[in-house]
Structure 1
Amino acid sequence: MNKQGVLWLLRILVGGLFIFSGLIKVNDPVGTAIKLEEYFDVFSNDIAGFFYYFKPLALYIGVVLVVAEVVLGVMLILGVKLKQTVWALGLMILFFTFLTFYSAYFNKVTDCGCFGDAIKLTPWESFYKDIILLVMISFLFYFREDLPENTPRWASVTAVLTMILSFGLAYYAIQNLPFIDFRAYKVGVNIPVNMQPSSPLLYTYVMKRGEEIVNFDQYPSEEGLEFVEMVLKNPEALPKISDFATWNTEGDQTEFLFAGNKVIILSSNLSKMSTANLDKLSNLVKSLEGAPVDVVFMAAATQEEIDAFLNQQNWSIVGLQADATVVKTIMRSNPGVWILKDGVVLDKFHHNNTPEATDVLDLFL
């Protein structure tokens, strides 16, 4: 393959990966913002305090970054201002490589969010992926003078339309919910089942006999062995959900939440909760009084704050506490409505799409 063929192949590979990565995150810009907030928290503590002031801007920064990924990928493949595009991609991959190296080396943000929730990579896997991309983009940068200089008009128009469409999709996902839910709490998931191993966990017991390392499938009864470590042989059998819990002053209420028909209003942060559709939520709560369903308010807050909020809204429903990260994972809006039947997720609603009581009850039929 000649030089132009190699350059064309690299354009396809790099551009395709950026488009794929960007589209997954355009699907869920709120999730990208949550990940950026984690980085800003870490950087404000470890590098410079001013990073803390970027947290309120995380959603806007996230949208710009993910749209840029898609648009630059399209520009690279279609041949739009290739020299400038390669420069922009180089700067972006340097930024991403720094983030993933920092995550991996210092074990700070253990999931970079490179492919959203669709593909989970360890920090080091993310870093190695970025290194490969960095090498490919460096090759394009080195031979940028050999890249086509003229930009076809149709390609420029396509890039502009891609940018407009990407911003539109991101805005729609923010105002509603992600188009495709890749998370562990998506519609159809049986949460209690996914909190258990899918099959018995199998371990290899690594022992030391003198200077010799010996592996056993069961813990050995032989004397004189020194325990080294226990290695899980089938990690794919681990529970898909390991951090879900909810409680109040009376203790753990997880089993209560998984019993019967539940309509759960979720809030990941009471102080930042949108009040735009509280009237619709109040109508839903009032309309479900006497129905064969438990309405629950679950928030990442103290029980005193939850009870005060319920009193303020005049909602006579159960108030439960939960971890903020778990609530953010379940619901990408604050507040949002989550429908469960015996622990199975029936539906989710952004507060902008708060359902009517009749529509909720139909779900339980």
Structure 2
Amino acid sequence: MNTNQVKPPKVKTGTPGMKIAAQIARILVGVVFVFSGLIKLNDPVGTQIKLEEYFEVFAQDLPLLHDFFMALVPLTLGLSVFLCAAEVVLGVALLVSYRPRLTSWIILLLVSFFTFLTFYSAYFNKVTDCGCFGDAIKLTPWTSFGKDIVLMVLILFIIGHRNRFRAANTGWIVFLTTVLSVALGIYAIMYLPPLDLLPYAVGKSVPDQMKPSEPLRYKYIVERGGKTFEFEQYPSDTTYKFKQMVLVNENAKPKITDYRVWTEESDFTQQTFEGNKLFVIIKETKDFDSGTITAIRALVNGLKNTNVEPQILTSVSDDDIKRFRQEYQLDIPYYKADATVLKTIMRSNPGTWLLSNGLVKGKWHHNATPEAGEVIGLVK
């Protein structure tokens, strides 16, 4: 009798399919993080504005921590660059398998933080645009929250299969990514976003964007006998009960809905679209480098008796702007605009913005104020 027992076949742990799925998840999360981080690093001041909104909301909703959150507001620009650069660096680290276990856990913590913010926005209807992909892709709060939940599931899947990833000697790539990411953020702060995705960018017509790109079309949702019906035109049958009117071509809505310029006496919006206007945008009359006004004053003086009319756009009080004009010898008229609109038009304070019959011909950070000849050449 043969006493040798037949050994059972060796069972392989895992399957090739799961390994492939884990690799796909790693690539997807890495690409999303790199894309999201780069879009926001292109405009870190935009992310700063969103962080300020969140901290101000938290300060209001959590009175016991009011002082703590308000103390964070002055730090938001640095925090913006840090978070945006971290997204890019972590995404690249995941893609090149740099310390995948540690990277995955850090990404999980970061996504948990973002998930909390997007849920708070969606559930309480606060900060209704999270800025997840900057101004490149606008997401509703619940869509943003859903996106973060998907990312969370993918990251947990990656962590669960972390033993399938081999660490690679790619530290130099992660280091180089860190340097370049921070450099991009600093450049965007010092000289405006390299890629302007805002509706007031060079080459865009402001008055055209204040109108629908095509006639708006709606569908009417009505009810009768417990059943719901949809019509492109509202039915004349009075037995139908109105429930809802839904816009069909959402993308045709005006891109600009809040641009308005005024004086104490009248609305000046339409006049800003007539002829050539160089607007010196002043969002605040304090906490800025006063040395930058020298170049702006030289530009304004150089435009006298030309076909370009310099004017000030500001959201500060009349007393403040009058004192500012006198102190810095800016003898040009001023007009009022909404503070949020000015933040959207210009990321620097001050800055200059050139319109020719409503078409944006130029936009300059105060660190790159042009000469009068350059401005005149753009509107010939």
Q: Which residue of 1 aligns with 2:107?
A: 89
Alpha-carbon distance between aligned partners in 2 of 1:97 and 1:52, rounded to the nearest angstrom? 22
Deviations along 1:78-117, whole A, 9 cap, x unmatched? Answer: 1111111111101001001001111111110111111111
Q: Which residue of 2 aligns with 1:63?
A: 81
Q: Which residue of 1 aligns with 2:151?
A: 133
Distance 1:261 1:229, change over 3 A: same
| Amino-acid identity (%) | 46
Following superposition, the deviation at residue 317 of structure 1 comes to: 1.2
Q: In structure 1, the residue corresponding to 2:197 is in which secondary structure? A: coil
Query: How do residues 228-267 of structure 1 correspond to structure 2 at under 5 angstroms?
Result: 228-267=243-282
Q: Which residue of 2 aligns with 1:53?
A: 71
State how many pairs are aligned. Answer: 362
Following superposition, the deviation at residue 329 of structure 1 comes to: 0.8
Q: Which residue of 1 aligns with 2:35?
A: 20
8 Å contact 1:270–1:299 — kept in the other structure? no
8 Å contact 1:333–1:351 — kept in the other structure? yes
Q: Which residue of 2 aligns with 1:151?
A: 168
Following superposition, the deviation at residue 269 of structure 1 comes to: 2.5
Distance 1:211 1:54, change over 3 A: same
In structure 1, give the amino acid aligned to 2:307: P
Deviations along 1:157-208, whole A, 9 cap, x unmatched? Answer: 1110110111111111111010101111111111111101111112223334
Alpha-carbon distance between aligned partners in 1 of 2:376 and 2:75, rounded to the nearest angstrom? 38
8 Å contact 1:267–1:273 — kept in the other structure? no
Following superposition, the deviation at residue 77 of structure 1 comes to: 1.2
Q: Which residue of 2 aligns with 1:364?
A: 379
Q: Which residue of 1 aligns with 2:177?
A: 162
Distance 1:143 1:208, change over 3 A: closer
Q: Which residue of 2 aligns with 1:279?
A: 294
Q: In structure 2, the residue corresponding to 1:218 is in which secondary structure? A: coil
8 Å contact 1:263–1:338 — kept in the other structure? yes
1:30 aligns with 2:45: yes
Alpha-carbon distance between aligned partners in 2 of 1:43 and 1:309, rounded to the nearest angstrom? 33
Distance 1:273 1:251, change over 3 A: farther
Following superposition, the deviation at residue 236 of structure 1 comes to: 1.6
Following superposition, the deviation at residue 252 of structure 1 comes to: 1.1
- Aligned-residue Cα RMSD (Å) equals 1.6
Q: Which residue of 2 aligns with 1:353?
A: 368
Q: Which runs of 5+ in 1 are unaligned?
A: none
Query: 2:350 pairs with 327, 335, 338, which one?
Result: 335
1:5 aligns with 2:20: yes
Deviations along 1:265-315, whole A, 9 cap, x unmatched? Answer: 112233334323111111111111121221111012123322222222222
In structure 2, give the amino acid aligned to 1:109: V
8 Å contact 1:269–1:324 — kept in the other structure? no
Q: Which residue of 2 aligns with 1:289?
A: 304
Q: In structure 1, the residue corresponding to 2:320 is in which secondary structure? A: helix
Following superposition, the deviation at residue 249 of structure 1 comes to: 0.7
Alpha-carbon distance between aligned partners in 2 of 1:208 and 1:232, rounded to the nearest angstrom? 18
Q: Which runs of 5+ in 2 are unaligned?
A: 1-15
Query: How do residues 75-224 of structure 1 correspond to structure 2 at under 5 angstroms?
Result: 75-148=93-166, 150-152=167-169, 155-209=170-224, 211-224=226-239
TM-score by length of 1: 0.95
Following superposition, the deviation at residue 30 of structure 1 comes to: 1.0
Distance 1:139 1:207, change over 3 A: closer
Following superposition, the deviation at residue 212 of structure 1 comes to: 4.6
In structure 1, give the amino acid aligned to 2:276: N
Larger Rg: 1 or 2? 2
Distance 1:81 1:307, change over 3 A: same
Following superposition, the deviation at residue 209 of structure 1 comes to: 4.2
Distance 1:353 1:8, change over 3 A: same
In structure 2, give the amino acid aligned to 1:353: A
Runs of 4+ in structure 1 over 6 Å off = none
Alpha-carbon distance between aligned partners in 2 of 1:271 and 1:220, rounded to the nearest angstrom? 58
In structure 2, give the amino acid aligned to 1:107: N
Alpha-carbon distance between aligned partners in 2 of 1:343 and 1:106, rounded to the nearest angstrom? 38
In structure 1, give the amino acid aligned to 2:100: L
Alpha-carbon distance between aligned partners in 1 of 2:323 and 2:102, rounded to the nearest angstrom? 55
Alpha-carbon distance between aligned partners in 1 of 2:287 and 2:305, rounded to the nearest angstrom? 31
Alpha-carbon distance between aligned partners in 1 of 2:284 and 2:236, rounded to the nearest angstrom? 52
Q: In structure 1, the residue corresponding to 2:306 is in which secondary structure? A: coil
Q: In structure 2, the residue corresponding to 1:272 is in which secondary structure? A: coil
Distance 1:356 1:175, change over 3 A: same
8 Å contact 1:303–1:320 — kept in the other structure? no
Q: Which residue of 1 aligns with 2:326?
A: 311
In structure 2, give the amino acid aligned to 1:106: F
Alpha-carbon distance between aligned partners in 1 of 2:327 and 2:89, rounded to the nearest angstrom? 46
Alpha-carbon distance between aligned partners in 1 of 2:143 and 2:229, rounded to the nearest angstrom? 29
In structure 2, give the amino acid aligned to 1:81: R
Alpha-carbon distance between aligned partners in 1 of 2:319 and 2:262, rounded to the nearest angstrom? 13
Q: In structure 1, the residue corresponding to 2:136 is in which secondary structure? A: coil
